[in-house]
């Protein structure tokens, strides 16, 4: 499965500290194995249809669309659920 980052998610990724970038990259590689990915949770409410997976205090928000995963937000847990 292909994993794509939106321009916003890419900018958020680049703004992360180096050690956190490495951890997020590992998670993104794991997402290629969807749906056999542990730790991913479906979101609800106005974010229904989206999923999140965590790495420490950071969250990666994504949507699954046929053979592609689109990551739209990477950030600290206090900020990632806004929208």
| pLDDT band of 79, cuts 50, 70, 90 | confident
Asked, for residue 34, whether it belongs to a domain, the answer is yes
Asked, for residue 7, whether it belongs to a domain, the answer is yes
Residue appearing with tokens 């180096």: 18
Asked, for residue 83, whether it belongs to a domain, the answer is no
Q: What is the pLDDT of residue 15?
A: 96
Query: pTM score, two decimals?
Result: 0.91
Range of the domain at 19: 2-76
Asked, for residue 82, whether it belongs to a domain, the answer is no
Q: What is the pLDDT of residue 80?
A: 78
Model confidence over 39-58: pLDDT tens digits? 999 999 999 999 999 999 99
The answer for residues whose C-beta is within 8 angstroms of residue 26's C-beta and 6 or more apart is 55
- pLDDT higher for 6 or 78? 6
Average pLDDT, the chain: 93
Q: What is the pLDDT of residue 83?
A: 61
Asked, for residue 81, whether it belongs to a domain, the answer is no
- CATH (domain of 25): 3.30.2310.20
How many domains does the chain divide into? 1
Beta-sheet pairing, 2-5 with 68-76: parallel
């Amino acid at each position: 499965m292909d994993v794509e980052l939106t321009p916003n998610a890419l900018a958020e990724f680049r703004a992360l500290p180096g050690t956190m970038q490495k951890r997020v990259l590992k998670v993104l590689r794991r997402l290629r194995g969807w749906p056999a990915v542990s730790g991913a949770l479906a979101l609800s409410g106005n974010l229904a249809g989206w999923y999140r997976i965590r790495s420490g205090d950071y969250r990666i928000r994504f949507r699954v669309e046929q053979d592609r995963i689109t990551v739209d937000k990477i950030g600290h847990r206090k900020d990632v659920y806004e929208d």
